[in-house]
Amino acid sequence: MKLQLLLSATAPVIDSMTWTIVFVGIAIVFLALACVYLFFRYFLTFILNFRLKSFARKRGIDPAEMVTAKNMQSGEVNAAIAMALYSYMSELHDVESGVITIRRVSKNYSPWSSKLYNMKNL
């Protein structure tokens, strides 16, 4: 009830100008971003592909084989290929004979490193 009274008291502030601002405002936001959409979705793609194809024709390359914005691989695919190559390359190592040997290491006697001598003096 209180809210109704409040709204009825303030209702005159909502005039035709308010609705003009609201609807024109929303329309302009959509229009501005729609212009950007149309430019990048159609116009720019067309220009870039046209430029690539004319470049290809000059070089004698089949335009269909050129990498364009449409058939360019996604970053995900490139990342997956790069990761696979890295994993393959980093796992490569020397091929060993597989024979396990125990090599005895002979050391010359020295009192400086004599275990027996040191233990005695503890």
Q: Which residues bind other proteins (CB under 8 A)?
A: 6-7, 9-11, 13-14, 18, 21-22, 24-26, 28-37, 39-41, 44, 48, 69-70, 72-78
In this complex, which beta carbon is closest to other proteins, that of residue 41 or of residue 57? Answer: 41
Provide, rounded to whole angstroms, the least separation between the CB of residue 73 and other proteins.
7
In this complex, which beta carbon is closest to other proteins, that of residue 47 or of residue 114? Answer: 47
Long-range contacts of 64-70 (CB under 8 A, 24+ apart): 69/45, 70/45
Cα four-point dihedral sign 73, 74, 78, 80: negative
Provide, rounded to whole angstroms, the least separation between the CB of residue 93 and other proteins.
32
Provide, rounded to whole angstroms, the least separation between the CB of residue 94 and other proteins.
38
Six-digit token string for 18: 């308010």
CA atoms of 41 and 70, how far apart (whole Å)? 11
Residues in the chain: 122
